Structure 1
Amino acid sequence: MALQQIVQETVTGLGYDLVEIDRTVGGLLRITIDWPWQPGTEFFINVEDCEKVNRQLQFALEVDGVTYNRLEVSSPGIDRPLRNEQDFERFAGELIDITLKAPMGESAAGMVNPTRKKFRGTLERDATGHGWQIVWSDAPALKPGQKISKKRIPAPLHALGFMLDELREARLAPVVDFKGRKPKQEA
């Protein structure tokens, strides 16, 4: 059996979702797992989950004769990759980073640099409800303790619509907040 199939069957058989498989030249086999998403619930992978999957994968890979030097099972982390429609649905309203396969070109004239391929903004459904868009502002980040003038004109918001097949990579933006998670803002 192929490595992808062995890992997929083992991980889903234990009740988890396979997020990513990474195999390095040095023999490291890195498996990233997550809980299946159910709207309205949010569970996080812990060390015991990774240990359980690691033990089961060791047996499955040994039976099928897959060679590796080290096996590493982990959670997706704060910069989780977004790979499919379900991931985008799950993280709508969150801050994400996207990289396009090709630059925007002349269609973006006036809005952004036509050679730009990387964007950071809030993930939203587009006006049709079938596609996706990223919304951002080019306002400079505020420094801690900086006061904002009441006369200051806010920077305009930009929106870029995209289809999933136009993306090279999409990830949650790694935002660290030591005061704890905040619930998503309802629209």
Structure 2
Amino acid sequence: MKIRKLLRILHRDFGYFIVGMTTVYALSGIFLNHRHDFNPDYKIYTDDFIVQKGNAEDFDANTIKRVISELPYDLKYKKHYISSDNLVHVFIESGEMVIDPMKGEGVLRFLERRPLIFEMNKLHKATLGTTWKWVSDIMAFILLFVAISGIFLLKGKRGFVRWGWWLMVAGFVVPLVFALIFI
């Protein structure tokens, strides 16, 4: 079997194999590129609410749990304390509440995972442990093989020698220019 035919077969089969992983990496890469514009992993909720006026000491665990149950979110109470300025600080799962009993006002802040995007970003960052790191490395080697083998697949006027080499050079120059300017 000729080398070009073998490269074409391997290029095709490896290319099919990594379509799903490449799609996940591409989408999560876009989300992670914009992490300064929004939090790609969590949606941040902030909500003001009203409580019955009273003293900070009136807010025991049961009263706070009742207040939490009246809010339109599925929140889990952890603990609370009363600060020196008589504000009730409540720790909830993935967030906090601050209640001002004298004014009868409260502020709720909590995070909620963005479904699917959170998981894709975890995969992209390879933070799932050693096994996933190796799977990710294998995918990177397959991508490298597909990129390099693609150089040798076409002949003629649209092949590497007459057409592809300058596009490949441009592909190296673009990140190099950004690295030189911004790093």
User: Could you say whether these structures have the same fold, taking a TM-score greater than 0.5 normalized by the shorter chain as the test?
Assistant: no
Q: What TM-score, normalized to structure 1?
A: 0.22
Kindly name which structure, 1 or 2, has the bigger radius of gyration based on alpha carbons. Answer: 2
Higher relative contact order, structure no. (Cα contacts within 8 Å, ≥ 6 residues apart):
2
**Higher percent of residues as strand:** 1
Normalised to the residue count of structure 2, the TM-score between the two structures is: 0.23
